Structure 1
């Protein structure tokens, strides 16, 4: 009888958890009982959800099968708004292991999703969820919008805190942080954790103000800011993390702390660039607001034969001139598309492909670069030397160049026109690396070959985020230094390599993800070995992520993590302290 008892699967699971210090799963004997979950639900006034994946309506074996609703889900599957509004779903389904797609012929289960979701609307809801997770050793994840290219806002066998309905924004003309003896003399906005950048911009515009944030309106403010956060205004006003003045945060012990330059200064350092989902659950943030400004946008499009030497020589020449353009005050985004007929071309050009009359097999380089509070003549004057170099090049007859300028009276009118490039509802990853003046001053052949090596059939495009400029380089954040890497302070552009694969194709996924890390991004690491990466836009398998994300600040961040979360209540990967955990093949999270 004793031998039979010892062989029970649950006893084996109990031993594994005890020895390895693992988070419990529904298969664990220590998984909370139904009465435990019901008690949590009562504590938070009925806000505990046990939702099915949204695409389950497409699957006959699921209890909520509904063909007409499946049409709705399928139609909205590529919308960030749809995924943000769902308690489980995230923008890229590979982070849920493609567990339930809107394809009736694909499998559907909840294995890649959180089991329960706390629909938090207050800090006390968050505190209850954190306490429950800590006391019962349940994995905890945090989702605001699900717009995270590293998959940090989801996790299997977990309890999720969904902050989407923590709403509100208030403005203050002379903010005084809690615990400080006097006001700062700065205007500010206090923003709840569920707010997205588009609605924050709109609220600020009503005050004739603006804030630093991303260019995708559905991005959540907390994930953006705690990762550093850049956008169209960063070249003037710095990073989103540089503008943070105060946080309200629930830490691993369930306490609600107010963090700023006068109290809990170590956490104030960490939250400004140390990543979301690591040190606690931020329930609100107060940021500096700034005067509105006019924007002039210079739009350039270069057309060449697909993947030709002329195309790549042009690409290298443009990159070598980016430091001069950035020094002059231009900032913005660009893309390098070697072949307009590729899958990447279809995603980038979309419905514009026909109107552009490009024909098959074209290579396209396009940018939209901004200059603040200056007229079109200033932007044109900065770009003209580059245009002359291109016109005088030995390959000038093999390219065509078109330019135009657009002037916007304020940031709101600019944001209505220019929206960040995003493709969601598909399987994919993105790699990224900063290129600084040193890297871009190398031989043009080196630049060309490095950029060519990033192109693969799985990707096929280079995205450039030249959003730093003097506002980032010369930033002086309140309260002293913050956690963002020093590499930000010299970066000219962030070079991004998106890749994708067919859902549920394990072999293709393995090949594509390996190539991203070991070929595409390796080429950029060789070109710029001394820089780093933006932790919100990077390959989850970035080698030595601690140094790439934070440089010499990692040691301090790890110490802060161990001070405020010694048990590892908060886990995400790749995040501070995640190297001490491992995900077992069955999805269970265990300490190493």
Structure 2
């Protein structure tokens, strides 16, 4: 990151938090949902809450980096517009990238925030919270679907000011005799766009990270971490070489495969905010392919029978031509018989990519009376080095991205148009499951298509191929099995998800939206029930999961949960770090 950009972030943070008063937002969704996880902690204004002098002492120890948390004026039209900008939201200590979840949680500010700039700042905050029994919350990118970076009456450790990125030609973990490898060191507050720009645009290498440009690095890695090209490069967690973490005892530890290997393993998919506060990560980088590209197609069938035949044709195409390391991202089915294809590829040119789709295009051409939209088929490729280059998109493809056009904002910042609906979104319902690769066998495809079609009658549903590793190179699958993730991920060809969300509701969900939100739940439950009939007991991806996930320990971690629980008890015996559906949590 440039010195100018770092200065902008630092100055912006100071303007936001200095001199501000405490402003706790009212929870209008389900007040007790978050309280259920905080009742063991002392509350503001309750007996035992630290006196003002104690907070002043902490602020002095932190060099002035402690402040009450404030929020913007949600009634201001200018602020309402800014709430559609993920970079603006990410720069606010009192906001989160999701504004809440129906009957679960609502984005609520902490009482105080430590704008941490070092592991020492983090340790001071942890020691203070432990001594005074104050709830701790950790926020980097703030993308947690489950609201783990938001809790009223808490002390927030905000890692956003920690944004250093260092690219290494050769890195060896501390204490290791392993051969050095290309890598990148990333401070805990970094977002993936800046890391991609440093590694890919700046150094001609690739690092496996998230798809949304504003997602935080530390949270994604600790949750396992999928991206658009995971079918080739695997989990972000599998690329972790070393981490610096401050544990519940206030000790800063550097962990890797030879130094405290159990804790290191737990950080590779065991969940963020659970075992301590990660302050730095070192990730292996990979050789950059020649190209990245995308395929788009929207086809609508004129009858249910034609739609089912279209789904069968696609699955056969996927199983025979696309089930490999070159292809990722997703297809969407809907009750109106639309098949929406939004897939990406790597290391193919446009002609090579287009050729893989020829059987489906020929099928559509031969059945013109049954389908509309075949002419929307489009294939685009670009040199991989430009995939996160803001100037490239500004010049050649401004219609597929949004830019952070605020005065003084970094000209490097953009987000994909397809992710715009998620900015500040309020979740109504969410359900997901991994699908085993055995469903792609010829003898099982009919059964799969029947279930897929049945699911589509109820609600929109996506198959995200990047979030299942079956079809990836053997080394990628082996590396995934070495993480704390549910081992099912190595055998899944896709991750199925059905969800519904609405616009930002930071100041509360309008009463008129409750009926709409509740209605979506039955459709989503019915869709996933139809699909789960062919994958009973399937696990799911913890970073993007249902707040109300049943049997979440098994779903997120499978047989790895017992080992994770042992590690949690060893490093956090008093349960200082508590998050919803986290290892050792009761909720």
Alignment CA distance shift 1:555-1:260 (3 Å): same
Identify the residue that residue 586 of structure 1 maps to in structure 2.
Answer: none
Identify the residue that residue 432 of structure 1 maps to in structure 2.
Answer: 432
Q: How does 1:166-205 map to 2 (within 5 A)?
A: 166-180=162-176, 182-204=177-199, 205=201
1:338 aligns with 2:345: no
Contact 2:269/2:483 (<8 A) preserved? yes
Contact 1:277/1:570 (<8 A) preserved? yes
Contact 1:312/1:452 (<8 A) preserved? no
Alignment CA distance shift 1:90-1:473 (3 Å): farther
The whole-number CA distance in structure 1 between the counterparts of 2:125 and 2:430 is 31
The whole-number CA distance in structure 1 between the counterparts of 2:550 and 2:481 is 29
The whole-number CA distance in structure 2 between the counterparts of 1:213 and 1:444 is 34
1:376 aligns with 2:350: yes
The whole-number CA distance in structure 2 between the counterparts of 1:309 and 1:28 is 63
1:76 aligns with 2:50: no
CA shift at 1:381, angstroms? 3.2
Higher mean C-alpha displacement, 549-558 vs 467-476: 467-476
Secondary structure in structure 2 of the residue aligned to 1:145: coil
Contact 2:41/2:135 (<8 A) preserved? yes
The whole-number CA distance in structure 1 between the counterparts of 2:131 and 2:271 is 24
The whole-number CA distance in structure 1 between the counterparts of 2:246 and 2:457 is 43
The whole-number CA distance in structure 1 between the counterparts of 2:303 and 2:51 is 59
1:548 aligns with 2:541: no
Q: How does 1:232-251 map to 2 (within 5 A)?
A: 232-251=228-247
Q: How does 1:135-284 map to 2 (within 5 A)?
A: 135-180=131-176, 182-204=177-199, 205-284=201-280
Contact 1:436/1:493 (<8 A) preserved? yes
Alignment CA distance shift 1:51-1:493 (3 Å): same
The whole-number CA distance in structure 2 between the counterparts of 1:99 and 1:226 is 22
TM-score relative to the length of structure 2:
0.80
Unaligned stretches of 5+ residues in structure 1: 1-16, 59-69, 101-110, 340-360, 582-592
Contact 1:209/1:292 (<8 A) preserved? yes
Identify the residue that residue 421 of structure 1 maps to in structure 2.
Answer: 419
Contact 2:123/2:246 (<8 A) preserved? yes
Query: 1:218-254, CA deviations, whole angstroms, 9 ceiling, x for partnerless residues?
Result: 1111111111111133222211011000000000111
Query: 1:357-384, CA deviations, whole angstroms, 9 ceiling, x for partnerless residues?
Result: xxxx783522223132x33333233322
Query: 1:450-509, CA deviations, whole angstroms, 9 ceiling, x for partnerless residues?
Result: 4543665xx645363435454475426779822012111122122222212582448548
The whole-number CA distance in structure 2 between the counterparts of 1:116 and 1:96 is 26
CA shift at 1:385, angstroms? 3.2
55, 80, 93: which one pairs with 2:99? Answer: 93
1:397 aligns with 2:370: yes
Query: 1:319-343, CA deviations, whole angstroms, 9 ceiling, x for partnerless residues?
Result: 454333343443222342537xxxx
Identify the residue that residue 406 of structure 1 maps to in structure 2.
Answer: 380
Secondary structure in structure 2 of the residue aligned to 1:141: strand
Contact 1:453/1:523 (<8 A) preserved? yes
Contact 2:293/2:346 (<8 A) preserved? yes
Identify the residue that residue 7 of structure 1 maps to in structure 2.
Answer: none
The whole-number CA distance in structure 2 between the counterparts of 1:170 and 1:259 is 18
Q: How does 1:114-153 map to 2 (within 5 A)?
A: 114-153=110-149
Higher mean C-alpha displacement, 26-35 vs 406-415: 406-415
When Rg is computed on C-alpha atoms for both structures, the one with the higher figure is: 1
The whole-number CA distance in structure 2 between the counterparts of 1:213 and 1:412 is 16
1:525 aligns with 2:499: no
CA shift at 1:112, angstroms? 3.1
Contact 1:166/1:195 (<8 A) preserved? yes
TM-score relative to the length of structure 1:
0.79
327, 330, 338: which one pairs with 1:363? Answer: 338
Q: How does 1:101-120 map to 2 (within 5 A)?
A: 112-120=108-116
Secondary structure in structure 2 of the residue aligned to 1:55: coil
CA shift at 1:168, angstroms? 0.6
The whole-number CA distance in structure 1 between the counterparts of 2:297 and 2:116 is 46
Alignment CA distance shift 1:285-1:123 (3 Å): same
The whole-number CA distance in structure 1 between the counterparts of 2:126 and 2:516 is 34
Contact 1:212/1:240 (<8 A) preserved? yes
Alignment CA distance shift 1:157-1:465 (3 Å): farther
Identify the residue that residue 542 of structure 2 maps to in structure 1.
Answer: 535
Alignment CA distance shift 1:501-1:297 (3 Å): closer
Identify the residue that residue 506 of structure 2 maps to in structure 1.
Answer: none
Alignment CA distance shift 1:510-1:131 (3 Å): farther
Contact 1:431/1:516 (<8 A) preserved? no
Contact 1:307/1:363 (<8 A) preserved? no
The whole-number CA distance in structure 2 between the counterparts of 1:98 and 1:541 is 8
CA shift at 1:25, angstroms? 1.1
Alignment CA distance shift 1:410-1:426 (3 Å): closer
Alignment CA distance shift 1:55-1:116 (3 Å): same
